[in-house]
Amino acid sequence: MRKLIFLVIAAALGNLPALAAHESAAEKRPNFLIIVADDLGFSDIGAFGGEIATPNLDRLALQGVRLTDFHTAPTCSPTRAMLLTGADHHVAGLGTMAELQAPNQRGLPGYEGYLRRDVATIAERLAPQGYRTLFSGKWHLGLTDDQDPFARGFQYSFALRPGAHNHFGVDLTNPLTGAPNYSENGKALSSLPQDFYSSDAFAERLIGQLRNSTSTDQEKKPFFGILAFTAPHWPLQAPPEDIARYRGEYDAGFEALRQRRIARQEELGLIGKGINANPPKLPGGSWDELSADQQAVAIRDMEIYAAMVHRLDQAIGKVLDELERTGEFDNTVIIFMSDNGAEGLDPEGSAKALLAPILALADNRLDNRGAASSYVLYGPGWAQAATAPRWLIKGYATDGGTRVPAFVHWPASARRGEVAATLLHVSDIVPTVLDLAGVSHEALAPSAELAWQPITGRSWAEWLQGLTPSVRSNGDALGVELFGSRALRQGEWKITDIGDGQWRLFHLAGDPGETRDLAATNPAKLAELAQLWDEYAKTNNVVIPTEARYRP
């Protein structure tokens, strides 16, 4: 299979050398680098319509294939469960976030709050097949030593175990559990360097893992690495010199930014011209309704956010430099994605009670915002500028909550320099990697008593080689649920429930913003898709919460 893949790629590139050369190329299996940003909005980086300086990501995206219909779960740990396993998050143990389980979900299979042992991670599948497996960054799939990435197939790991932290490394223990926040190769860390900053540290640790693993007997082995940033997840914190770069950039406000981003996405061919944008939900009022002091705070928070994204890009640049230095860049499949839609918790509303103990201790004066002693969020106005023209934000099964920026950079791919609108899902990454690596999907289970749950994602391998026009047919159904917000996609049809129990029907081909509810005029299609969602829920043991624990 692997030899066939490389033969097809060579043919697509118009370069068919001798058979011996084919065999040599097929024996050199590709490396893989999965890069995950945390709460990054769809249009935040330049190649997706943003004004933030992200030259390294832009170069990769423009040379690769930009995925404009790539979907995740509405929040982070469920997405990461699917990224790691290729199985639905309700099956993998993260039916909901561990921190936000409803009373009727506690103790049920699939709602353990950590990765179950009967789902294999991609590292557990690749390591026995000759890959060195590396992890650096946010884990959020279990807090204990036996749930650490080092215990789940990663031979080298530097992990932030919980879902958020102080980006300057101030919080070494989880304030809710008292458990250590950071671990290295499975062992809890009691200290971090004084100059610690999350994006820099995660990139530097991955570079160290690349170097350390090649100085051992694994030198000739290809690598599979995950670089999982916590930027730009709150608390918004960044070095002051990076914040200063964006002074004045956002003085016109979040509504002006929203229109600017939509226009730029049109220019780049990421969305159609003149489509209906879903109007933003602004609990604090429009920009002009804010006081001068409120505007000043909001502007500063967006400046910090932009600085975090800029710094993330610079950290990625260091990793790319290392791959080029070692000659591995051209043989590395790089997949970049955000873990969900932009985060829009309202620090004066929906987030106030949730974060009250932390906010009470923070120094959030205007001139201190972004420092290690501050703890700020940027709110729904800026978030909906990043998800526009789509509906809502992180936490919802709307396209604003699940359609995220993503791309594949692979010089051997037949798809380079493209904008691709085919429907893709985070659970597809595991089977794609396995196929490109030439590794069977039927991994050996850890014992005779424990069988792995099947992979349900779809491989992109043939699609990336230009052999098929899409990954899913119009008849394939893709379901999602979190916090009671539900959706099901089939072709260009979608039903959406924002958590109020009401199904809405949209035809995304002409209405990507989910602005026109067709439920009343097409009840047959609504019923058809609702039945498919019920089948999805039954297959994956979905338990609708009796109370919503998270609602932006």
Crossing angle, helix 292-325 and helix 254-268, to 10 degrees? 40
Beta bridge partners, 119, equal none
Contacts with 494 (C-beta within 8 Å, 6 or more apart), sequence order: 399, 487, 488, 505, 506, 507, 508, 514, 529
Helix or strand run (H / E) with residue 40: none
Cα separation, 540 vs 544, whole angstroms: 12
DSSP 8-state class, residue 159: E
The per-residue DSSP string of 311-326 comes to: HHHHHHHHHHHHHHHT
Amino acid identity of residue 124, one-letter, is E
- Tokens 């919503």, located at residue: 548
Distance CA 530, CA 328 (A): 47
Instruction: Given the residues 71, 90, 140, 425, select the one marked as catalytic.
Output: 140
Q: In the annotation, is 90 catalytic? A: no
Residue whose tokens read 């559990």: 177
Is residue 140 annotated as part of the catalytic site, yes or no? yes
Helix spans in 282-355 (H): 292-325
CB atoms within 10 A of CB 96: 28
Say how far residue 49 (Cα) sits from the centre of its chain.
18
Q: Is 332 helix (H, G, I), strand (E, B) or coil?
A: strand
Which two three-digit tokens encode residue 407? 């791309």
Which residues, 6+ apart, have CB-to-CB distance to 523 below 8 Å? none
Residues sharing a CB contact under 8 Å with residue 317, sequence separation 6 or more, in sequence order: 55, 56
In angstroms, the CA 319 to CA 314 distance is 9
Catalytic residue among 71, 76, 310, 409: 76
- Cis amide linkage into residue 380, ω under 30° from 0: no
Give the span between the Cα atoms of 169 and 150, in whole angstroms: 21
What is the spatial distance between Cα 232 and Cα 44, in angstroms, rounded to a whole number? 10
Q: Which residues contact 215 (CB under 8 A, 6 or more apart)?
A: none
Contact 394, 383 (CB under 8 A): yes
Task: Judge contact between 391 and 278, C-beta under 8 A.
Answer: yes
Question: In terms of DSSP bridges, do strands 65-67 and 477-482 run parallel, antiparallel, or are they unpaired?
Answer: unpaired
Rounded distance between C-alpha atoms, residue 208 and residue 258, angstroms: 39
Helices (H), 76-197: 76-85, 89-92, 122-126
Sign of CA dihedral 178, 184, 189, 195: negative
What radius of gyration do the chain's Cα atoms show?
22
| Residues with catalytic function | 76, 140
